[in-house]
Structure 1
Amino acid sequence: MEDALAEELKEIAEKSKTLAIHQTIPGGVHCSGMIEDCWLINLYSRIASRVLLRIAQSSYKSEEDIYRLAVKQPWESWFDVQNTLRIDITAIKSPLKSLNFTTLRIKDGVIDRFRSQNGIRPSINTHAPDIRIAGFLDAHNVTLYLDTSGEALFKRGWRLETGDAPLRENLAAGLLRISGWKPGIPLLDPMCGSGTILIEAARMMMGIPPGYKRSFSFEKLSNFDAAKWKALKDAVKVNPVPDNPMIYGSDISGDMLTMTRHNLQEAGVPFDIPLHQIEAQEIKMPVDKPGIILTNPPYGERIGVRGNRNLEADELASQFYQALGTTLKQRFPNWSVFLFTADLSVPKMLRLKEARKTPFYNGPIECRLFRFDMVAGSNRPRQSRTFRSEDQK
């Protein structure tokens, strides 16, 4: 989602005179600015996973080179010795044999730096640290970052209940952006689960910043200015409640819809989203105008049809998608349909040709966002014809 993130960051930069967006890289976007711009991204970005502040970079050949880079950084100017720490490392094509040992050497460098300054050292807390330091290694260079976010940014601070495999909030926001959905366009999620796509869309419509109800690691840094942070949050302007939001959801499970309603309330959505308990292959257009269907189909029996619990999973999925494909062609003329799934055979089962497929990785799982454009009249029921036979004289 690098391109989608870069597009979003350019919109966030309109709120700042100093935030500059530079280039996309695999897995992220480079930008620069003042420390307040870092706060701004954490507050407003719906797509980013973390905001990392680059502290140092150098070439390396061994773990000791990385230790020397860590030990010479002025960590004491960024945070206090009383703050607890966690160190995380990711690597691509690094020649080092043990990332665990490399993590240990970065930790040693940070601790030795504090010990040399005042004789005491910070403590490590891997579960709920005050400060997170991130290291990234490629084949030749190491970069050290301060993680200004803390908890990953998909944790918006409102979710209490999830389904078996909830879609992460920042992924849902990215899917909405890539689908082209904007407030005012009808949106339907016919397999809404715990409601993540619906909630992200509703909060986008209201202009509620994703980070408004949570805390961040940058609040523990020495340069944090609580008054400036409060002013930044006070400047948030929430949009008025729309007369007709045109956001709709349904699911086969009544329990999931109950969970969705609770999550909508916790997320501060101030308007009702119509929710219906119905099988996805039975859906109809919720409004008399073209819109977007965006959904993440579930797996197992929640995908099924009532009364067919004895079918094998593959046969169940095949029957389900075939019926869904027929419904989409007959009942949703001129709609755009987006299915996010790890099952790359979905277009074949739907008997639809995708207009576009966008590759994603949902964690380690390779996925696709399939787009299908429903053409009016493409699958109308065949009309019976009457023929007359006459005797030939």
Structure 2
Amino acid sequence: MKQVFHYFAPCPRGLETVLAQELAELGALGIAPTDGGVAFHGDWQLMYRANLHSRIASRILWRLVERSYRSEDDIYKAARSIEWPELFPVSCTIKVAVTGVGCKLRSLDFIALKVKDAVCDSFRAACDERPSVDTAKPDIRVHVFLTDRQQTIYIDTSGEALFKRGYRRETGGAPLRENLAAGILRLAGWKADEPLLDPMCGSGTFLVEAALIAKRMAPGRWRNFAFEHFKQFDAIVWNETKQLSFAAELPNATCAIYGSDDTPEVLAAARANLTAAEVGDAVVLEEADALERNAPSQPGVLVCNPPYGIRLEEQTWLDALYPMLGNALKQRFAGWRAYYFTADLRLAKLIRLSASKRTVLFNGALECRLFEYRMVAGTNRKPT
């Protein structure tokens, strides 16, 4: 009988439901969405699959201890009870991160030091050595989550955050995180046999994620993971997991994915990312103004992360842009479903269309909206 482990997959807030659906498709059990992520359980190979295939999770954390606490010493004792030398070799570098919601203890940084001491004391007792700390690129990350009375200690099986796919070559000023883009595509209900257009594609994040979905390419296929340092790591099973994934790919899949931008340098960055992700053949890029371009094909899905401004002059420019975006949708995209993801909540009013759905999402700590517009001719215009 396979051993069952308990995991937690954090994700951008607002994507918990679609992450739960994705994990269920990967074979996860006991799925329990909560604010900011999804708890689940399964065997060791499920953890491999989740890291390799999840497009929406930020990390896959393996829960080691969960118990109540009253003081920093209680947290030290919980961390010290874990047999760390049985999990990874002393040669691995470590980092401890602590997050608290309602925690009444004086310092999360001090708690991180106590947990680090517990890990090092465990190794000293076992082998008279201790692992080194590396806060930049550690081999092993330990995550501690505290509520007002409960502590949970995890070891991170992913390493670098999962939105770091490993293909990206070029970025814009503030590129959309890959797992947020993938989650938005899922919220939009986009299917690989539907046309997709991003008319302000930037560095191409939506386009790459869509092409990976269409070609059934795992988002983690280019990168390494922290679990490869674990003593329980089974290289044979991991290789089998990857080979099954590669065998399921559709390298010659027919796609109708389109992107455009009005700046040649931006298009060059998008093209570099598409090529690095091995999906350059799946996407049609062209230089075009989002306000003037036509729909590339029969009805499909338009998805866009338009610019938003902080300075007054930027907001004045956007005040004029948003109504023109609404006009372009009405004139050229009848029958399409359009999705605008933005941190500028004025868009809903200024675009002068009736949103059929508004989804609250967070880009880090920044509250955003995903607005859905179903472009049926003659029915979307708001009265002026």
Calculate the TM-score normalised by the size of structure 1: 0.90
| d(CA) in 2 for partners of 1:300, 1:271 | 34
Paired position in structure 1 for 2:193: 184
> How far apart, in 2, do the equivalents of 1:323 and 1:219 lie?
51
Partner of 1:9: 23
Paired residue secondary structure (2:281)? coil
SS in 2 for 1:132: strand
**Residue equivalent to 2:279:** 269
What's the counterpart of residue 250 of structure 2? 239
> Aligned partners of 1:201, 1:320: CA distance in 2, in Å?
26
Q: CA deviation at 1:72?
A: 1.6
Which residue in the other structure is 1:344 paired with? Answer: 345
Percent identity of paired positions between Structure 1 and Structure 2: 46
Q: Structure 1 counterpart of 2:24, which letter?
A: K
Q: CA deviation at 1:373?
A: 1.2
Equivalent residue letter for 1:248: Y
Residues 329 and 378 in structure 1, CA contact (< 8 A), matched pair in contact too:
no
Q: Per-residue CA shift, 1:143-192, capped at 9, x if unaligned?
A: 00010000000000101210001000000000000000010111110000
Match of 1:136 in 2: 145
1:270–1:191 distance in 2 versus 1, CA, 3 Å: closer
The correspondence of residues 157-196 of structure 1 with structure 2, limited to 5 A, is 157-196=166-205
The runs of at least 4 aligned residues of structure 1 exceeding 6 Å deviation read none
Q: Which whole-Å CA distance do the structure 2 matches of 1:272 and 1:8 have between them?
A: 23
Contact map agreement 1:241 1:270 (CA 8 A) in 2: no
Change (3 A) 1:141 1:216: same
Match of 1:113 in 2: 122
Partner amino acid, structure 2, of 1:242: A
Residue equivalent to 1:285? 295
- Residue correspondence of structure 1 range 69-148 to structure 2 within 5 A: 69-148=78-157
Matches within 5 A, 1:313-332: 313-332=314-333
Query: Which of the two has higher C-alpha Rg?
Result: 1
The corresponding residue for 2:259 is 249
Partner-residue secondary structure (3-state), 1:22: strand
Aligned to 1:369: 370
Counterpart of 2:318, as a letter, is A
CA contact (8 A) 2:101 2:147 kept: yes
Q: Find the aligned partners of 1:272 and 1:202 in 2 and give their Cα distance.
A: 6
- Give CA-to-partner distance per residue, 1:272-320, whole Å, 9 cap, x none: 4221212211121100x2111101012469xxxxxxxxx9322311111
* Among candidates 17, 38, 42, match of residue 33 of structure 1: 42
Counterparts of 1:152 and 1:343, CA distance in 2: 26
- Using structure 2 for the length normalisation, give the TM-score: 0.92
What corresponds to 2:5 in structure 1? Answer: none
Residue 142 of structure 1 aligns to a residue whose secondary structure is strand
Task: Find the counterpart in structure 2 of residue 259 from structure 1.
Answer: 269
SS of residue matched to 2:90: coil
8 A contact 2:326–2:353 mirrored in 1: yes
Cα contact 2:195–2:300 (8 A) shared by 1 = yes
Separation in 1, partners of 2:314, 2:121: 56
Q: Give the CA deviation at 1:22.
A: 2.1
The one-letter amino acid of 2:41's match is: S
Is 2:66 the partner of 1:43?
no
Supply the distance in 2 between the matched residues of 1:68 and 1:74 (Cα, whole angstroms).
12
Long gaps (5+) in structure 2:
1-14
Distance 1:145 1:111, change over 3 A: same
The whole-number CA distance in structure 1 between the counterparts of 2:271 and 2:75 is: 49
Per-residue CA deviation, residues 25-54 of structure 1 (Å, 9 max, x unaligned), is 111111111111111100000000000000
Q: For the Cα contact (< 8 Å) 1:10–1:21, is it kept in 2?
A: no
What are structure 1's unaligned runs of at least 5 residues? Answer: 14-18, 302-310, 381-393
Residues 62 and 160 of structure 1: CA distance in aligned 2, closer, same or farther (over 3 Å): same
The residue correspondences of 1:184-223 to structure 2 (distance < 5 A) are: 184-223=193-232
